[in-house]
Amino acid sequence: MPPRPSQIEADDSLVLTVEEEGGPETVVALAGPLDVNTPARGWQPLDELLGRGPAGSRRLTLDLEGLTALDLNGSAQILAALEAAEKGGFKATVTGLPPGFETIFRLAEGAMTRPLPPPPPRTTFWEETGRSAVELVRDLRALTFFLGELTVEFLRLAARPWRFNWRGVALAVERSGINAVPIVALVSFLVGLIIAFQAAMITKLFGAEIYVATLVGVSVVRELGPLIAAIVLAGRSGSAFSAELGAMRVAEEIDALTTMGLSPVRELALPRVLAQVITTPGVTLIACLVGIFGGSLVLLGMGYTATTYWTMALEKVSLATFLIGFFKSFVFGFTVGAVGCQRGLAAGDGPGAVGEATTSGVVTNIVLIAILDSLFAVVFYVVGI
């Protein structure tokens, strides 16, 4: 039986020739470049041969003497062809590999023949629950230790205030408090506007739109103002604390402070927490005023005067209501600063440590703020204020 050469050109340069001889061997010759740009259709003659089966030929030889270029992708194609031939009943080998391509071909061969690592074991629901519980306990333990260190530093500051770097506190006040006023005011304005608009839609059915002012005034001063300010500050200032201290941890600057005998909590965390405690009540007060102003636009659009609205809005805001909101702002400010600094100081190593610390700080802050606000609501309800 005479040989039946079959050729196909790929990319105008690669030529694959299949010579089917009557003996027990079939030779497939490759000529031209074989790299990542070689299309799969170049192997069509070989695929047709393998589809017909051995048919008397028991050996398949890939003659690579005519190759002019070869990369890892091309080597992988050759190895895949050999594997397909073995599955088709041939005993496949290669021959004529140019010496210049020997290294890259052996590299691909070693990579493809190396066994894959076993898949990680699947974890059950209870294992995940247990792991999460252990991490939560460790997290609470770390927060407790940091809170203790921070309390000690506050006591030392109260005993010797003249030995503290107040310039760092002033800088932190500007960055974490004053610069945060515009975004807090914008969010409070929109929330006050939305609450007033939604309440007006209901009260209008009963002709009691004017009581929207009372609703906005009490809810903003008692709940929404401190909560909005705290959440926005957690996403803005708290995340900045985590990122700054996390970057210092990765750059080993915190280790340098410890080596010099300085406390990172006193030198880095205390000024930021103190600045946040100082600025949060002021930012909260601005948030309350702007939120009430946002609600006034709704009633002004309904024909009520500004004097009537502000009188009704502030009439039911008692001293107790104001002090509750003021107290919450202090607690939320301390929470935002303390959690942000703790996450930054506890950051790990590696390029992703700063991002992980920042994300953890923001999420923990928001969760703690929501929990604290819920506890305050229950306590104040039980007490009757």
- Asked whether the beta carbons of 240 and 340 are under 8 A apart, the reply is yes
Name the pairing type of β-strands 14-20 and 25-34. Answer: antiparallel
Write the pLDDT tens digit of every residue in 329-352.
999 999 998 998 888 888 877 778
Helix (H, G, I), strand (E, B) or coil at 63: strand
Identify which has the larger pLDDT, 117 or 374.
374
Q: Which band of pLDDT confidence, cut at 50, 70 and 90, is reported for residue 186?
A: very high
Q: Residue 147, CB half-sphere, CA atoms under 13 Å: how many?
A: 10
The Cα 295–Cα 189 span in angstroms is: 8
Domains and CATH numbers, the chain: 6-113 (3.30.750.24), 141-383 (no CATH)
Write the pLDDT tens digit of every residue in 238-261.
888 888 888 888 888 888 888 887
Q: Which band of pLDDT confidence, cut at 50, 70 and 90, is reported for residue 2?
A: very low
Q: Is 134 exposed, middle or buried (0-12, 13-18, 19+ CB in 10 A)?
A: exposed
Q: Is the Cα torsion angle 354, 360, 364, 366 positive or negative in sign? A: positive
Q: Which band of pLDDT confidence, cut at 50, 70 and 90, is reported for residue 135?
A: confident
**pLDDT value of position 231:** 92
Write the pLDDT tens digit of every residue in 79-130.
887 777 777 777 878 888 888 878 887 887 777 766 667 777 787 888 888 8
- Asked whether the beta carbons of 186 and 228 are under 8 A apart, the reply is no
- Is 8 a residue whose pLDDT tops 50? no
- Asked whether the beta carbons of 188 and 228 are under 8 A apart, the reply is yes
pTM for the full model?
0.68
**pLDDT value of position 52:** 64
